[in-house]
Every structure is written in structure tokens, then in C-alpha cells.
Structure 1
Amino acid sequence: MSIPQSGGGPITDHSQLAGYLADGCKPKEDWRIGTEHEKFGFCQDSLLPLPYDGERSIKAILEGLRDEFGWQPVNEGDKIVGLVKDGANVSLEPGGQLELSGAPLETIHETCDEVNTHLVEVQTVADRIGAKFIGLGAAPEWTHEQMPLMPKGRYKLMDAYMGTVGTHGTQMMRRTCTVQVNLDFSSEADMVKKMRVAVALQPVATALFANSPFFEGKVNGHKSWRSRVWRGLDDARTGMIPFIFDEGFGFEAWTQWVLDVPMYFVYRDGKYIDALGQSFRDFLKGELPALPGETPTLSDWADHLTTVFPEARVKKFIEMRGADGGPWRRLCALPAFWVGLTYDQTALDAAWDLAKGWDAETRQALLVASSEQGLQAEVNGIKMHDLAREVVDIAEAGLKNRAKPGAGGLVPDETHFLNALKDSIASGETPADELLRRYNTDWDGDISNIYDAYKY
């Protein structure tokens, strides 16, 4: 979940809303890669989730990172709720999931180094206090009551609201984890094409990264339960957003959609003011019930943009949001997948050619099927395993064309970061399939084996 935004001063003209998004346009040489990933912390002896406070806790992890590795604290009131350093931040998801929001970096080599450094730092602090972390799309056993709500005003408001608008909102908040990548665009037309490719092919990412077949101690019937949870969250702000495929889509159309999404809050003087279900359009007119007579700033608009959760999201960059959290090795595969598809024009054109003939019903059916069946999904004659092979081939070609070397020039490009995905395609087995296989064989139906086998 996002931290409070710093978008700018008063909104005096409607054009500033779309203009805020358009300000993200930048030349290709300035495009960067921002990788985010979430993970669950747990007590090594009891296998229960870490509480916020105490000797062995989320707070202790944050304070350890602050004291041992030079991160600067982010506080809400008297509570430490995050960290910042060198353009990156560490933040808390509602149930205590620890998130790294990486700095905008030029290559996947750099972003993978960043991920590796972060996980080593977290592991160092966790080992000292008897804690571990694990990368999964959903909590395998823990109940809602066992996942403590973090002391952030935004989450307190959202927690109460989620049950009124959907069936799975509180599950999303406390018991899911994702890995995503944030990518740039050069122009409105470039944003449009990237968004259409992003949304259309998000089911492929969901299938390849599927890693949540367990929930509340049982096999849940999905390869990605996290994806299922998001489909039951809140129809007003989630989904495959078919309007982006309409003729004329651009920054203004995105603005109009976000304006119609009910608000969560307004952030003022370090506090979250309850604006649940209220209208940003009313806010623009000075008629917001939560702040009568007050009009919004661009910071308020930036905050509101963080409260929409479709499969891909536009801010001053594009967020790819369809993948489950997962093993260490796969955290770098997700940015490689999307950078390969979208940062080389030939690859982007090929990806769009692959998906442009699908209608909204096909795209939605692919998302549902990928959540349920992973690489074994099939919709209207489209076999996900074959589709994933073709998409990864396009991504690999895009990374070759980028030709960004690493390891001091010893590694010619970024293609090796796709190896985990190529292995899945070769075997037909995603992380979820591996978990189910082990559950049914060497684990003898005991899900608790997952912690030792897959901890970071």
C-alpha cells in the first residue's frame, strides 16, 4: 500500500488532473524500473505471524533495519511504520506484510542487486530475533484474527469499509502478497499501448507466478488465490478495466474513471480523515462532507490515485499488478518479464499483435482461468501454456534488443532473469504446482512444512 503522496499545490483547473499523469512522460533514455515485493513475516518457533509490537515483531524488524543498515524512519504518530533510503522505501501492508518499494533503477541487474541486498538485510535482523520471512501469494494457514492490523490510519478506515463493498477485501489487506514492477512511458500514445498490453497479458503473469494454492490450512482450488481475492474486493476499483481498450482512451479517460471511484480518505497534518464512499468530484467543488468548503490539492489527487486497484494502474508510471509474491529467485523475473515486453518497441508491438484481437469477455475469462488453473488454463482455444511460451519468447527478444549488460560487462543482457519462467514453461509447473505436488507427496498433507521449505 502506498505512503502519503506529495503531488503539489491547489487544484484550480480540471486539466491539472490529467496533466498530473501526463507529467510522467519522459524520453526513453530516462525510463527506469521500480520493483516492489511483499513478504510475510513469522515467528520461527510458533510459525505464527509477527505482531506489530514486542521483542519479536514487525516493529523490531523496522528498528533493526534503521539501526543496523542506515534506513531513515517514517512515523505515523509515535509508531514507526516505514523506512526510506536512497530513493527506496520499506512499508507495511495492513497485516504486517513487509514491502520493499525499490528505487527507480536503469537495469534489472541493478534492481535485482537491490532486492538481494534488502532480503539479506531483512534476514540478518530477522535471524537475530527468531523470525523468518516467506514469499507466497496468500497466507497458507493464518486466520484473519491471527493477522494483526498495522497501526496506520489508512488501514483502519479501509478495514471497516472493505466488508461493505465486496466479499474478499479484508483477505486482500491482511493475507495476500504480490510482486510488481513500475514502468515509464514516453507519451500518451505510449502509455495507452503499454496499458492495453499490460491488462491483456496480466493473466499470463498471474499464471506464471501463481503461488497461493493454500488458504486457512486447506487446498483452496485455485493456483492463485490472491488473484481470486482481488476479483472479490470492490468492483468499483478493481478488474480488467475494459474501457482502456475503447477508442480515444488516454489520460483524461483514466482521470474520469478515477474520479468516479469512491474515496477512502483525505490526508491532513499527519492524519487520515474518513471520506469513505464520498466523491472526489464533490471535493473539487468544495462540497466534500468530510471537509466542507475545502478543495483538494494535487497531493490529494495523488493519494486518490493510489486507491484504485485494477490489474494495471496508471499514475506517473504504470504498475503491473497481476503476480503473486514468491520465492527469492522469481522476484527479479517479474520485472524482466514486463521490461522485456514493454521497453523495446518491437517487443511491445509483437505483444499487442498477440492480444489485440481479444474481446473483453476473453480477457476476463483468461484472468479467471489463470487464477484457477495456472498454466493449464484454456479459454476459447487459447491454451495458457502455449500463450505463456510465446509471451516469454517476446520478452526475451525485447531484453536482447535492450542489450543492457551486467556484472561489469560479463553478462551481455538481462535475459537470464527470465530463466525461472522458462523453467516453468519447460516443466509445465508453476510455484503453485510445486507446492501442491509436495503437499501431496513428501509433506503428506501437512501444510506447515511450507515454512521451513520456502522461508527466505
Structure 2
Amino acid sequence: MARDQIDMTPLNSRDELVAWLEAGIKPASEFRIGTEHEKTPFTLEGHCPVPYEGARGIGALLEGMQLLLGWDPIMEGPNIIGLHDVTGGGAISLEPGGQFELSGAPVETVHQTHAELMAHLAQVREVATPLGIGFLGLGLTPSWSREQIPVMPKGRYKIMTGYMPKVGRYGLDMMYRTCTVQTNLDFCSEADMVKKLRVSLALQPVATALFANSPFTEGKPNGFLSFRSEVWRDTDNNRSGMLPWAFEDGMGFERWVDYALDVPMYFVKRGDQYIDVSGSSFRAFFDGKNDKMPGERPTLSDWANHLSTIFPEVRLKRYLEMRGADGVPWGRLPALPAFWVGLLYDDASLDAAWELVKGWEAWERQALRDDVPRLGFKARIRNRFLYEIAKDCMVLAHAGLRRRARLDAFGIDESRHLAALDRIIESGRTPAEEMLDKYNGAWHGSVDPAYDEYAF
């Protein structure tokens, strides 16, 4: 999760909320790629969760990273909870169960994403290995119970932990046990935003299948290929899902604002203090009717923070966030930005992708999204297997990246970063199915080898 925004300008009108989103519009020449990925820390000895406290804890890891990188620490009270690179724009933050997240700087090419990732992993290893900490590239912790997982010292997580069980079965699993990789992409107009949002919402299940990587819970197969994706189906349906209204006439920034105004809030931050307002809407806050803060009006910071607590399959902020993929081992991470950049940053591929999905009805998109966690490529829509649609998307992504023609030092375009997904398409099976084969074969019914084979 991004750092909390700090802009205490009071808000007076709905137009300001719309304007905040509109400010994300930029010319195509300034489009950037942001990639965020989470990884689960574990003790190299015993493969246990890593606590925050102590000489070999997550706090010590962050302090070591700060010394190595010279980035600014992000503090909450006496605790270091993240790092921020003032010059480049990247950040390191902690998810509720200690999942270690790199929010990459906005870069121009997937090659730069790859280089940033390699540098980050080398730095993390340098600090983590002497502390006896490794990192796992799966969408869900494969062996630990929720009770075993330590809680990071962040006020917002305390509020969310209390609220989650009221609104869904899996909210705490989402917070404490899942990892994702996300790609954040730009738009050049309101119409461009709407088109990219619709295409990426409809095709998010393709990314879920290509990156499906969470078939184990507490040491056993859980019956899913992406249990992380299943978790989102029953976390909090007021703030997640496939946004059927985004495909209706009149969709635009204003429609998103109206949606977000009615999503229940978690917290309001004043100074270092998190105020629990869970369950009340931003609209009531906007009207000065928040029970916990009567008469008080929200600020721009409150709006930005609230938008970061909405979790649909694709999220609009001042850019679009692709949220459908499981966390994966490092070699597969650059494939996610490559996939979406190839589809969305090339006009011909974007048009072709829209042709592919524009006839689908809301209930069909929903059924596909509901089936994909369990069935992967075998999910169907309109008598087509998702596997065939994934193949079509890969052709479009390759073509889009070739036309973009952003070359690396060796004169190779960004389509090389799709190689990991090409192999998955060639095999016809999701990564999770491959892992289940290992579990039933070479791993002899144990998930423990994952801590070697899927470590960063």
C-alpha cells in the first residue's frame, strides 16, 4: 500500500474530487510504468514468519535497508514502517503481516522495471541474508496459520483488522497472508481512461490465470489455483469486484467519484493519529456528518487515502492499477508490466483487445472472474476457454511491445519480458498446476521445498 498522502487542503465541492482524478491525465509521450510487488519474509532456518521486533526482525531489516540505500525512513511513532526514495520516487512499505513491498518508481520502459527489480533484490539480499531472512514469491503463505503471523505496528492495520471480519470471510487472510504484483499505467484523456479501465477489468481474469500461484494453505492444497483471487471474492464486496457500472453509458471520472463516495471508510488520519471511522461513508464525512468527527470536513489527503482503500480488480487513482495477479518469483515479475503495457499502451492492441471483450455481458464477466480462481485456463466465457483468450491476449501484447519498439542496450524490444508467460502458454497450464504436480511428486506431499524453489 502506498504511503499516506499529506495534503490538508479542506475539500468544499465534489468537483474538487473529480479534479484530483483528472489531474492524472498526461500526454502519451509522458506515460510511465509503475510496478509494485510484495514478497513474504521467512526465517531461513525453520521457514517461520518473521516478527517485527528484535535484532533479526522486520524493523531491523528496514533499518539496514535505510543505511544501505540512504532513503528517507517512514516512521509511525517510534517504529520504522517503510522507506521513501525522494529522488527516484520509489518506496518500500510493509503489508499487515510483514509482506515486504517495493513500490517501484515510475519508469519509461519494462527494461527499466527489470533493472530496478534486480537492483532492489540485490540490496534486499545484502541486508536480509545476514539476518537469516529469505523471501517467498507466492500469492499466499503456503504453510502458516493466520494466528502464527505477526502484526506490523501500523495504526491503519489495527482498524482494518477489527473491521474486516464484519464484512467478509477472508479479509484477514487478504491482509496477513496474500501477496500480489501490480502494474500502474497512465491515460491521456477521460475517454482513454474509460477504454483502458474496461479492457483491463474484462481481461483481469487472464492475468489471474497466467499468474495463478497460490494453491496451498496451511501445508495442504486448498482446492484453488489462485486462492489469493478467491480471497478477494469474500473480503469486502462493498469495495472490491468487477465494477459492472464502469461499462455503462456515462462512465467517467465523475462516476468513479460517486462510487468512491459511498464506499465505507476505514480511517481518518490526523497528525500521527488514526481515527477509526470504519463503516461510515466518505459522502457522510463530506457532508460534515461523520459520527466520530462531527462537523469536520475531509481534506485532499483524506480523499487520496480513502481511494487507496478501495480494492476492485482494477483501481482508478491518478493512474490505473492492475490488481488481478498473484505474487510470483522474481523471474516472472517483469512479465506483468510487459503484458499490460503491450495491451494498453499500443493503440492497435488496445483496439483489438476491446473488440475481444466489448460484447461480453456483465454477468458473463462476473462468472469468468468467479470461476478463474478454481479453474484457471479451464474457465469459460461464451463457449471459449480462458486459455484461448489468454493466447489471443499474448499475441496482442507481443505485437504492442514490438510496435512500441523500446530497445534495451542489446537492441531487443520489451517483448522479451513476456518469455515467462510464453512458456506458460506453451505448457497450457497455470503455474499453480505445475506446483501441485511437484507437491504430488518430487515434494512428497510437503510444501516445504517451496521455500527453496520459489524464494527470491
Which category describes the TM-score, using the shorter chain as reference length? Answer: over 0.9
Give the aligned residue type for 2:189: S
| Aligned residue number for residue 443 of structure 1 | 443
| Aligned residue number for residue 79 of structure 1 | 79
Question: By how many angstroms is 1:380 displaced?
Answer: 3.4
Residue 230 (structure 2) pairs with residue 240 (structure 1) = no
Out of 185, 192, 195, the residue aligned to residue 193 of structure 1 is: 195
Give the aligned residue type for 1:426: E
Normalising by structure 1, report the TM-score: 0.98
Give the aligned residue type for 1:101: S
Give the aligned residue type for 1:350: A
- Separation in 2, partners of 1:250, 1:202: 20
| Aligned residue number for residue 284 of structure 2 | 282
| Aligned residue number for residue 412 of structure 2 | 412
Give the aligned residue type for 1:149: V
Question: By how many angstroms is 1:374 displaced?
Answer: 1.4
Residue 43 (structure 2) pairs with residue 43 (structure 1) = yes
| Aligned residue number for residue 62 of structure 1 | 62
| Aligned residue number for residue 393 of structure 2 | 391
Question: By how many angstroms is 1:292 displaced?
Answer: 1.3
- Separation in 1, partners of 2:203, 2:217: 26
Question: By how many angstroms is 1:367 displaced?
Answer: 1.3
Compare 8-17 and 414-423 and name the one that shifted more: 8-17
| Aligned residue number for residue 133 of structure 2 | 131
Give the aligned residue type for 1:113: A
Contact 2:141 2:177 in 1 (8 A): yes
Matches within 5 A, 1:130-279: 130-279=132-281
Matches within 5 A, 1:299-314: 299-314=301-316
What SS does the aligned partner of 1:349 have? Answer: helix
Give the aligned residue type for 2:166: T
| Aligned residue number for residue 368 of structure 2 | 366
Give the aligned residue type for 1:136: L
Question: By how many angstroms is 1:215 displaced?
Answer: 0.7
Give the aligned residue type for 2:289: E
- Separation in 2, partners of 1:375, 1:228: 15
Once the two structures are superposed, residues 227-282 of structure 1 have per-residue CA deviations (whole angstroms, 9 ceiling, x without a partner) of 00011101100000100000110000000001110110111102211111112112
Normalising by structure 2, report the TM-score: 0.98
- Separation in 2, partners of 1:279, 1:168: 22
Unaligned runs of 5+ in 1: none
Contact 1:36 1:180 in 2 (8 A): yes
- Separation in 1, partners of 2:411, 2:291: 57
- Separation in 2, partners of 1:186, 1:95: 37
Give the aligned residue type for 2:378: Q
What SS does the aligned partner of 1:145 have? Answer: helix
- Separation in 2, partners of 1:55, 1:428: 45
Question: By how many angstroms is 1:8 displaced?
Answer: 5.7
- Separation in 2, partners of 1:7, 1:270: 14
| Aligned residue number for residue 324 of structure 2 | 322
| Aligned residue number for residue 90 of structure 2 | 88
Contact 2:66 2:73 in 1 (8 A): yes
- Separation in 2, partners of 1:63, 1:430: 37
Question: By how many angstroms is 1:376 displaced?
Answer: 2.5
Question: By how many angstroms is 1:62 displaced?
Answer: 0.6
Contact 2:211 2:430 in 1 (8 A): yes
Give the aligned residue type for 2:108: E
Compare 298-307 and 200-209 and name the one that shifted more: 298-307
Question: By how many angstroms is 1:182 displaced?
Answer: 0.5
| Aligned residue number for residue 382 of structure 1 | 384
- Separation in 1, partners of 2:273, 2:34: 27
- Separation in 1, partners of 2:278, 2:37: 27
Over aligned residues, Cα RMSD in angstroms?
1.0
Once the two structures are superposed, residues 369-412 of structure 1 have per-residue CA deviations (whole angstroms, 9 ceiling, x without a partner) of 221121232233121111101001101111111111112xx233
Give the aligned residue type for 2:455: K
Contact 1:213 1:222 in 2 (8 A): yes
- Separation in 2, partners of 1:194, 1:427: 29
Residue 4 (structure 2) pairs with residue 4 (structure 1) = yes
Give the aligned residue type for 1:118: H
What SS does the aligned partner of 2:315 have? Answer: strand
Contact 1:43 1:132 in 2 (8 A): yes
Give the aligned residue type for 1:268: R
Compare 122-131 and 193-202 and name the one that shifted more: 122-131
Give the aligned residue type for 1:18: V
Question: By how many angstroms is 1:7 displaced?
Answer: 4.8
Give the aligned residue type for 1:362: E
Contact 1:369 1:379 in 2 (8 A): no
What SS does the aligned partner of 2:280 have? Answer: coil
Give the aligned residue type for 1:298: L
Cα 1:367–1:444 shift into 2, 3 Å: same
- Separation in 2, partners of 1:141, 1:379: 33
- Separation in 2, partners of 1:191, 1:201: 15
Contact 1:312 1:318 in 2 (8 A): yes
Question: By how many angstroms is 1:69 displaced?
Answer: 2.4
* Paired positions, count: 454
Contact 1:7 1:302 in 2 (8 A): no
Percent of paired sites with the same residue: 54
Question: By how many angstroms is 1:429 displaced?
Answer: 2.5
Contact 2:2 2:103 in 1 (8 A): no
Q: Runs of 4 or more off by more than 3 Å in structure 1?
A: none
